[in-house]
A = this chain, B = another copy of it.
Amino acid sequence: MEEIGQPLKKESVPIITVDVVVLTLDQGQLQVLLQRRPYAPFVGVWALPGGFVHMDEDQDTLAAIQRVLRDKTGASGLYVEQLATYSGGNRDPRGWSVSVAYMAILPKADLHIAQSPDIALVDTANLPDLAFDHAAILKDGLARLRGKGAYSTLPAMLLPKEFTLSELQAAYEVALGEKLDTSVFRRKVADFEFLEKTGENRSGTSKRPARLYRLKETMQTFERTLGRSF
């Protein structure tokens, strides 16, 4: 009896998507890659880059997000980390959906974005409204960067491979959202021994040349933690 009169169910096949929070640094600003949605739902609204999983083509959701990134940024083999999975019957008007969200942190020079008014790097301090629950996903991504940034080399991934200590400090400050004391910062960098000198200097500025550093090979992953916090 109770079955009669139930509202028509939405599509009973779940929707499986992937989305990605791509963060980079430009002129001292933490920026996120957004695209304007070309179709419904949320047509014309900015969103994180993403798409459906292609079950006949993608080995797993990691392969799916690599495909999406390749299509939208020209970058292949980008290092991404799983952020979290967002799910439920209310986040997408098309039906019960699961989005596996990833995070990519990279220097701006590694992004080759199509010339289009519908894809852009946007200052994370000045965001438009976002489609679906993408504002929450982005917020979680920024919290991850801030949380892990304090005890890992994550902020260094915002920079090109070679950087000065001033540039590294600026990356940590943007990631953590706070100013750091230069002498404390430099002592901790020395303590943790995660950098090596390239042997080159950055010249061409008005100041005296600054030594260039890079992450040691063994430190070039997200999960490599420093054991203590900045």
Query: Contact flags (1/0) for A98-119 with B, using CB distance below 8 Å?
Result: 1010000000000000000000
Interface residues of A (CB under 8 A from B): 9, 12-14, 16, 53, 55-56, 59-61, 82, 84-85, 87-90, 96, 98, 100, 147, 150-151, 223, 225, 227-229
Residue of A82, A88, A151 contacting most chain B CB atoms (<10 Å): A88
Q: A9-B56, A228-B228 are in contact. Are A100 and B88 (CB under 8 A)?
A: no
Question: In the complex, what residues of B have CB within 8 A of residue A151's CB?
Answer: 151, 229
Report chain B residues within 8 Å CB of A96: 53, 55
Minimum CB–CB distance for A3 against chain B, Å: 12
Does B82 contact A60, Cβ atoms closer than 8 Å?
A: no
Number of copies of this protein chain within its complex: 2
Chain B residue with the shortest CB-CB distance to A85: B85
B88 pairs with A59, CB closer than 8 A: yes
In the complex, the chain B residue whose C-beta lies closest to that of A15 is B14
Contact partner of A60 among B13, B61, B87, CB < 8 A? B87
With beta carbons under 8 angstroms apart, the residue of B53, B227, B229 that contacts A227 is B229
- The verdict on A84 contacting B82 (CB below 8 Å), with A61-B98, A98-B98 known, is yes
| Complex: A223 Cα to B84 Cα, angstroms | 14
| CB neighbours of A59 from chain B (8 A) | 88-90
A150's closest neighbor in chain B, by CB? B227
Enumerate 17 A-B pairs (CB-CB under 8 Å) in ascending A order. A9-B56, A14-B16, A14-B53, A16-B98, A53-B87, A55-B96, A59-B88, A59-B89, A61-B85, A82-B85, A85-B100, A98-B100, A147-B223, A147-B225, A227-B229, A228-B228, A228-B229
